[in-house]
Amino acid sequence: MVNTRWILNKSVDKQIVENLSNVLGIDENLSTLLVQRGITSYDEAKDFFRPSLTHLHDPFLMKDMDKAVERIKRALENGEKILIYGDYDVDGTTAVALIYTYLKNFINKKRIAFYIPDRYEEGYGISYKGIDYAADNGFNLVIVLDCGIKAVEKIEYANSRNLDFIICDHHRPGDEIPNAVAVLDSKRHDCQYPYKELSGCGVGFKLITALSMSLNRPMEEVYELLDLVAVSIAADIVPITGENRVLAYYGLQLINKNPRPGLEAVLSHANVYRLEEEPSADSEHPQNVLNKEVTISDLVFMIGPRINAAGRLEKASDSVRLLIAERKEHADKLANSINDLNVKRREFDNKITEEALAMIEEDEKLLNAKSTVIFNENWHKGVIGIVASRLTDSYYRPTIVLTRSNNLITGSARSIKNFDIYDAIDNCSDLLEHFGGHKYAAGLSLKPENLEEFSRRFEEYVANNIDNEELTPELNVDLEIDFTDINPKFVRVLKQFAPFGPGNMAPVFLSRNVIDTGLSRPVGNMKHLKLSVIQAQDAELVFAGIAFQKGADYQKVRSKEPFSICYCIEKNFWQGKTSLQLNVKDIKFDEEEYKG
C-alpha cells in the first residue's frame, strides 16, 4: 500500500477567526474551517449555511441561451417533434430525464422522445446513427445533453439533413465550436457565464430555467427536478461550490423528503429505505421510510453505479425510463433489472481489476513507470473506467485502461491530484481518433497500430511533467483538535457545512496520542478496523471509529501504544440506531512526520 503524506492546512489570520467566532457565536475551530473556505464575514457565512435559489445566476448570461430558448419556442409554436439526446452515463441520463420530464408538462408525448447512443455500437457523443434516426423519424429539433461540444463534423452532417441541434455540454471545447443553432457550454472562451463548473444536467437545468422564464411558467416545475441535478453533480464529481452547492442542497432535500419513484426504488435496493411494519395513519399500505439521511456520498456510491450499470452492460435508455417513471410498480421493475446488472458489473470489474493488477506486477517496465497504460482486447468496455480508478488508487499515478472496440482500441483515463490528464492526452492527439473529457477523467480511441507509440509518448509526457513527490498521495488535514473539542454544538454546526464534495470536502481532523480501549477489532474478513479509542489526556471520553482498508494495522493498534489518526466526523446508522463515528482516513505510528 502506498504511504500517504499528511498535509496540515496553512494557518489562517487569527484576528479574522476570532472576529468570525464572535459574530457567529461559534468556537474558533469552526470559524477556522470557515475561513479556510474563504468565508470571513457574517453575510458570507449566512450564504454558506443557508443556500438560496436566489443565489443562482441568470441563465441568459450563458452564451447562446437566447438562441436556444427562441428555437425551442418556435418548435413549440409550430408543433415540431423534439428529440432529447444524451450521453449514456449518469450525468447524461439524468439530463435527458430532466428535459423530457419538464417538456411533457406542456407537450404532447407524441411530439417528444429521447435517444441514448449505444456505448458499443455508436460510442460516446453524437453519432451518425443517432442523427439518421432523428431525420428518418421526422424530428426537427434535437437537444443534446452532456456531449457534443467537439462534434463539428457530426453537426455539419446534421445540417445537411435539415436537423437543428441545441448542444448543452460542460466539457472543454476544441478549437472550433460546432455550427449548431445554439451551443451552451460555460467553458467556451467566449462565454461570460460566471460559474464554469456545472454538470451536463446542470446546463440542462439552466436551459429549462430560461425557457420557463420566457414562457412565464411556474418555476416550481423546474425546481421539482433538482433531485436529478443533485444526482448528476454527485456522480460526475464536479465541484460542490457556487451554484452546484445550491443545486445539490435543494436536490438532496427533495430526495430526502419526496423522492421520485425511480430514485426511491434504487435507494430501496441500496438498503437506504426500509418498509414500515405497519401502515401509516394516512395510508392503507406500508410505506418506504428512510433508514438514514441521504447524502452526496450516498448518491456517488449507491445511486450512481446502479444508474450507470445499464449503460455499461446493456442499454442506458432503461436508466432514463427508471428516472422518468411515474408509477411505483414500473419503477420497481426497472430498478430490479438495473440492480441485477449492477451485480454483474461488479463481477466484471473485480475480475478485470485482478487481471490488470497481475499484469502490472509481472511487468517490470510497467511497475517502474510514472504512468500506467494497459491493454487487453478481451476486457469489457463498460467497466474499464472503474478499473482505471481502482488502478489509480492502487499505484497512484495517471492511468489509462484500454480494450478493443470493433476496429479501434478504446480507453478510459483517470488522474491523480494536480495532474491534468486531458492535457497529457491532448499532447498525443495526433495518434488518436477521438478524445475528450476533464482534467481528472477522459476517454479516447485510437487505431491498434498507434498503441505502442501512444503508450511511449504518454509515459514520456507524464515523466517530464510530474514530480516524484506528486506520485505520493496526500491527505489534506483541515485542523488538529482534541476529542474534547467534539461536543453536540460542534457536531450540529459541522453538519451545516454539507453538502460535501470536491471544493467543499468534509473536514478532516487530526488527533494525536490516541489509544485503543481494548475493544478495537478487525472486521470485514480482517480488511477493516472497527475502533474504540480514547486520548491519553482524557481517558474518560471514548469514541467509536471505522478505518477502512486498515486491518493490517490491528496488531499495532492493540499494543496500547499511542498513535495519531486523521478522520472525518459522521453519523453512523446501524439497525435503526444513530451514533457518532470517526471515519478514520489514515493512521500513523511512532510520531511519523507530516507536512505542515
Per DSSP, the residues of 181-212 read SEEE-TTSTT---S-----HHHHHHHHHHHHH
Q: Are residue 172 and residue 128 in the same domain, yes or no?
A: yes
pLDDT given at position 271: 76
Among 312, 291, 349, 373, CA closest to 576: 291
Give the Cα separation of 3 and 112 in Å (integer). Answer: 53
pLDDT of 575: 66
| Angle made by CA atoms 341, 346, 352, in degrees to the nearest 5 | 125
* Structural domain contains residue 354: no
Q: Which of 221, 240, 256 is the last residue of a domain?
A: 256
Nearest CA to 446 out of 422, 400, 410, 399 is that of 410
179 or 595, higher pLDDT: 179
Work out the pLDDT band at 119, boundaries 50, 70, 90.
Answer: confident
d(CA 591, CA 562): 9
Q: Per the structure block, which three cell numbers stand in for 155?
A: 453537426
Pairing of strands 577-588, 538-547: parallel
Instruction: Supply the pLDDT for residue 553.
Output: 94
Coil, strand or helix: which one is 424? helix
Task: List the single range of 302-311, 353-362, 448-457, 543-552 with lowest mean pLDDT.
Answer: 302-311
| Least confident piece of the model among 220-224, 558-562, 588-592 | 588-592
For residue 274, the model assigns a pLDDT of: 54
Q: What 3-state class would DSSP assign to 66? A: helix
In the prediction, which pLDDT does 311 show? Answer: 80
pLDDT at 570 over 80: yes
Distance between CA atoms of 469 and 181, rounded to whole angstroms? 47
**Main-chain phi, psi angles of 457, to 5 degrees:** -70, -40
Query: In this prediction, what percent of the chain has a pLDDT beyond 70?
Result: 95
* The pLDDT of residue 463: 96
CA nearest 1: which of 357, 300, 349?
Answer: 357
Q: Which residue has the higher pLDDT, 436 or 566?
A: 566
The larger pLDDT score, comparing residue 317 to residue 281, is at 317
Do residue 224 and residue 155 come from a single domain?
Answer: yes
Question: Quick check: is 358 in a domain?
Answer: no
CA 39 and chain centroid, separation: 25
Q: How far apart are alpha carbons 127 and 129 in whole angstroms?
A: 5
Do 204 and 58 lie in one domain? The reply is: yes
Under a CB-based contact definition with an 8 Å cutoff, are residues 435 and 425 in contact?
yes
Is position 352 within any domain?
no
Domain co-membership, 77 together with 31: no
- Nearest alpha-carbon partner for 181 in 218, 144, 215, 209: 144
The verdict on 118 and 199 lying in the same domain is yes
| Cα 522 from chain centroid (whole Å) | 30
What the block records as the C-alpha cell of 468 is 516524484
Query: If you write DSSP's letter for every residue of 319-349 in order, what string do you get?
Result: HHHHHH--SHHHHHHHHHHHHHHHHHHHHHH
Size (the chain), residues: 596
Residue pair 459/427 in contact by the 8 Å Cβ criterion: no
Question: Does any domain span residue 355?
Answer: no
> Is the residue at 461 inside a domain?
yes
Grade residue 313 by pLDDT with cuts at 50, 70 and 90: confident
Helices and strands in the chain, H and E counts? 22, 21
Residues 570, 484: one domain?
Answer: yes
- Residues 543, 591, single domain; the answer is yes
Query: Residue 592: what pLDDT?
Result: 55
Q: What's the pLDDT at 48?
A: 96
Contact 494, 554 (CB under 8 A): no
Amino acid (1-letter code) at residue 535: Q
Cell representation of residue 28: 474558533
Q: Which three cell numbers stand for residue 529?
A: 478496523
Q: What confidence category does residue 278 fall into, taking pLDDT thresholds of 50, 70 and 90?
A: very low
Question: Which H/E stretch holds residue 168?
Answer: strand 164-168
Which residue type, as a one-letter code, is found at position 107? I
Least confident piece of the model among 246-255, 533-542, 560-569: 533-542
Q: Is residue 40 part of a domain?
A: yes
Q: Are residues 17 and 88 in the same domain?
A: no
Q: Is residue 388 predicted with pLDDT exceeding 90?
A: yes
| Residue 356 belongs to a domain | no
pLDDT score for 578:
75
Q: Which domain holds residue 27?
A: 7-47
The mean per-residue pLDDT over the stretch 282-308 comes to 77
- Looking at the fold, whether 69 and 188 belong to one and the same domain comes out as yes
Task: Give the least confident one: 59-63, 104-108, 268-272, 343-347.
Answer: 268-272
Q: Quick check: 523 pLDDT over 80?
A: yes
State the pairing for strand pair 441-446/474-477. Answer: unpaired
Q: Is the model's pLDDT at 214 over the cut of 50?
A: yes
Which triple of cell numbers denotes residue 328?
411505483
Domain of residue 541, CATH code: 2.40.50.460
Do 69 and 171 sit in the same domain of this protein?
yes
CATH of the domain at 67: 3.90.1640.30
Q: How confident is the model at residue 534 (pLDDT cuts 50, 70, 90)?
A: very high
Task: Please tell me the distance from the alpha carbon of residue 308 to that of residue 304, in angstroms, as a whole number.
Answer: 6
Closest CA to 404 of 438, 451, 442: 451
pLDDT of residue 279: 47
Residues 450-493 have pLDDT tens digits of 999 999 999 999 999 999 889 999 999 999 999 999 999 999 99
Q: At what angle do helices 128-136 and 152-160 cross, to 10 degrees?
A: 20
Both 177 and 316 in one domain: the answer is no
CA distance 308 to 458: 28
Q: Where a domain ends, among 212, 233, 256?
A: 256
Q: What is the distance of C-alpha 352 from the center of its chain? A: 22
Average pLDDT over residues 433-459: 93
Mean pLDDT over the full length of the chain: 92
pLDDT classification of 9: cutoffs 50, 70, 90: very high
Q: What is the mean pLDDT of residues 207-236?
A: 97
Residues 457 and 544 occupy one common structural domain: no
Classify residue 431: in a domain, yes or no: yes
Domain boundary pick from 452, 471, 490: 471
Residue 343 confidence (pLDDT) above 50: yes
Mean pLDDT for 244-253 is 98
CATH classification of the domain holding 373 = 3.10.310.30
Percent of the chain with pLDDT over 90: 81
Number of domains, the chain: 5
CA-to-CA distance for 177 and 163, rounded, in angstroms?
17
Summarised one tens digit per residue, pLDDT across range 74-113 is 999 999 999 999 999 999 999 999 999 999 999 998 999 9
Q: What is the DSSP letter of 239?
A: -
User: Worst-scoring range by mean pLDDT, 271-275, 303-307, 417-421, 499-503?
Assistant: 271-275
More confident residue, 415 or 120: 415
Q: What is the mean pLDDT of residues 256-280?
A: 77
Q: Assign 215 a pLDDT band (cuts: 50, 70, 90).
A: very high
Contacts of 383 (CB under 8 A, 6+ apart): 312, 345, 348, 349, 352
Tell me what pLDDT residue 326 has. 94
